[in-house]
Amino acid sequence: MQSIGAVAALVAGLAIPAAAATGAMPVAQQNALVEKYCAVCHNDANKTGGLSLENFDAAHPDPSVVAMMVSKLKDGAFGASGVPLPDRTTQDALLSALSAEAAGASEWTVNRTQDPEAPILTASILREILSTANAGEPNVYRLALTCRVDTREAEMQLAWAPGDVPGSGGTMSAAGDGKAPLTVKVNNGEGAAILSMPLPEQMLTISNLFPGETVVFPFGGLAQSVRQTLSTCFTGR
């Protein structure tokens, strides 16, 4: 089986590139900046913070991934150790372009591979919750569900940011074989949420990844065909 975790991190889509539509920073320049300053740490090998940007393409952005990038940039978490930062004008232009590409991040983004030998479906969504510790500052949560349609193998990944302050962010994931409900441990291992019913009837609620915060991911926003496919992979039905 191909690595579905790696595929889940890919950004793909069919829409007109946001940069082309808005006259923002050119796609090639965005990609070059992300490769130089972000993918050094956030790559397939390391997946710092549970995120790989090695295959990032601003021409086909995943809004939920881009929204996490925007959150990091606003927090000043930009650049790699030992690599001089670009000038402020360039940084602001990148932030502006990414902010436009993050539109729709509060909704589900669904991608399908075109390889008939490895048909993979990925659905991702992002939620922002105002921090209880830092008034007015949002904490960001991203949920990604990946299903290999032919074998019913599945992976769920949850990432939360900001992750630059020790203990304030991170990632967790769980994988299943499509034969039994997938169990996802949350609250730093102190609790568990079990997907034991068809996804169209459920939402995933997770608490205390940031102290005192609860985030809800509703499955009702997914198209019926997508929900049925994910339900087969994640609940063993």
Distance, CA of 88 to CA of 106 (rounded, Å): 28
pLDDT number for residue 163? 44
Could you tell me if 172 and 133 lie in one domain?
yes
pLDDT tier for residue 22 given thresholds of 50, 70 and 90: very low
| Nearest one of 217, 213, 216, 220 to 198, comparing CA atoms | 220
Could you tell me if 134 and 216 lie in one domain?
yes
Q: What is the pTM of this model?
A: 0.62
Could you tell me if 122 and 214 lie in one domain?
yes
Q: Which range, of 8-17, 70-79, 161-170, 227-236, averages the lowest pLDDT?
A: 8-17
Could you tell me if 115 and 93 lie in one domain?
no
What is the mean predicted confidence (pLDDT) over 183-205? 63
pLDDT number for residue 28? 93
Does residue 11 surpass a pLDDT of 50? no
Could you tell me if 135 and 231 lie in one domain?
yes
Could you tell me if 11 and 82 lie in one domain?
yes
Could you tell me if 84 and 143 lie in one domain?
no
Range of the domain at 47: 4-101
Could you tell me if 47 and 95 lie in one domain?
yes
Could you tell me if 95 and 115 lie in one domain?
no
State whether residue 213 is helix, strand or coil. Answer: coil
CB 164 within 8 A of CB 75: yes
